[in-house]
Structure 1
């Protein structure tokens, strides 16, 4: 009887040790997997600060961020902007370009801006493309030519989620196929999906166009069609864990830009803006890894 009991105890002890070993190995594997996932680069949009943009760089630095998303400076301002960023330990990751694509001069204007990007060391230029009354084919051709100029300067031109060239994932894809240029890609805006569309969501539309996404703008929304209500991240309806899962599943390593635009009719103080951005950054750090 004692021998049987001894064997039983030995068997249980062996099983326990094996289970503990398996748990330990699984935990080590999980840690290794997490370490293998490269942190994403998170940039804060300077325009988030509205009329308080002079306070932006100090606050962004105070948030522990290293990158900014800013408007393209004039060529003669580049050196001063670089010095200003360097002094704060910040780097421009994405810049916002500007042109009227319905005008023939738009390609030349974008070319100058790409050269400015190169001088700044910026690889991505955002553009909210407005077609106005110009034919689609004319716009596609101009963006294709702009793509050639972008490539010469080592820049990717990224088109915003905005009607009528990027209303949703399907439209983004149609535009990308029509332009057919590797240096023209998508800037996916997570909040503009529900702002400009009915009966869909950011995760669904991101999946639809993910192969063309070069930059992503994380912005929350209350979900009401064409309602200007863009709160701190985590306070709206955008499924950000789902968004980042799609990005990670596709091996995404591009910029993540943070945008908080507030609520129409509600004027935010500098403190309100700073608190919304602090909440947003803390929320993001709770669901994803960033530099």
Structure 2
């Protein structure tokens, strides 16, 4: 597989960006997707000065890690959310990210059902145009009551019609939000995928339980087979969100990431 193995720094929610860098280096991961999610995981913020941005980039260079993308989730259905996303696009450009991921509504617990998507389509066209000016791709993640599956977002991609707009496929969110296993859904939507949040799922479908890769119930061998057949080479951004209680320490996160990276490489025959 040509897909780059990447760390989604949201794995280190509640910990510092430096912890994410240390964990990635220990796991032999050379790419990162930085979380810049306002009010949740703020490893990067659009208010960062040029010196702060350069310091972050220097730290990554020193650890042989390159930025691929950024999680910049905001509520696009509000003006404040849209303005924050525009600023996140500017931040992503300063960091050298090639794509920015978002949901369409609240970052967590998004239960809002969008009956008429015409407003959202126009919003996404406008934001994709802004992103194009930076050379960045916008990707909506499988998330929430309205867009829990890849198939739903693929339909949205068709309506928006922007070449730099696509899907961020989360292999566990489709179970949590849409009670849908990722396999057939992934086959239907693989051609519009920009980024893959590689996340395992354990327990009941509605249970917040996202362990290390290989510790849950997801058949990742089947997932990788689907991606290969579809010739999808989007990054595999490892994301571990544990249970609602969260990890007990940063060492638990480091261990989960190390085991996840090993499991992914083993599944790929490396």
For structure 2, list consecutive stretches of 5 or more residues without a partner in the other structure: 37-43, 107-111
Per the normalisation by structure 2, the TM-score is 0.85
Question: 1:186, 1:214 within 8 Å by CA — same for their partners in 2?
Answer: yes
Cα deviation, 1:237-288, whole Å, max 9, x if unaligned, reads 1111111111111222221100111112354222221211111111000012
Q: Secondary structure at the match of 2:75?
A: coil
Larger fraction in helix? 1
How far did 1:289 drift? 6.3
Per the normalisation by structure 1, the TM-score is 0.79
State the partner residue of 1:27. none
Q: Does 1:184 align with 2:147?
A: no
Q: Which has the higher contact order (CA 8 A, sep 6+)?
A: 2
Q: Does 1:163 align with 2:159?
A: no
Q: Does 1:261 align with 2:241?
A: yes
State the partner residue of 2:109. none
State the partner residue of 2:41. none
Cα distance in structure 1, aligned partners of 2:160 and 2:144: 16
State the partner residue of 2:105. 130
Greater Rg, structure 1 or structure 2?
A: 1
State the partner residue of 2:28. 64
Q: C-alpha root-mean-square deviation of aligned residues, in Å?
A: 2.1
Number of matched residues? 252
* 1:92 aligns with one of 67, 78, 98: 67
- Aligned in 2, Cα 1:78/1:266: closer, same or farther, shift over 3 Å? closer
Q: Secondary structure at the match of 1:51?
A: coil
- Aligned in 2, Cα 1:88/1:104: closer, same or farther, shift over 3 Å? same
How far did 1:45 drift? 1.8
For structure 1, list consecutive stretches of 5 or more residues without a partner in the other structure: 1-36
How far did 1:55 drift? 1.9
Q: Does 1:113 align with 2:88?
A: yes
How far did 1:61 drift? 0.7
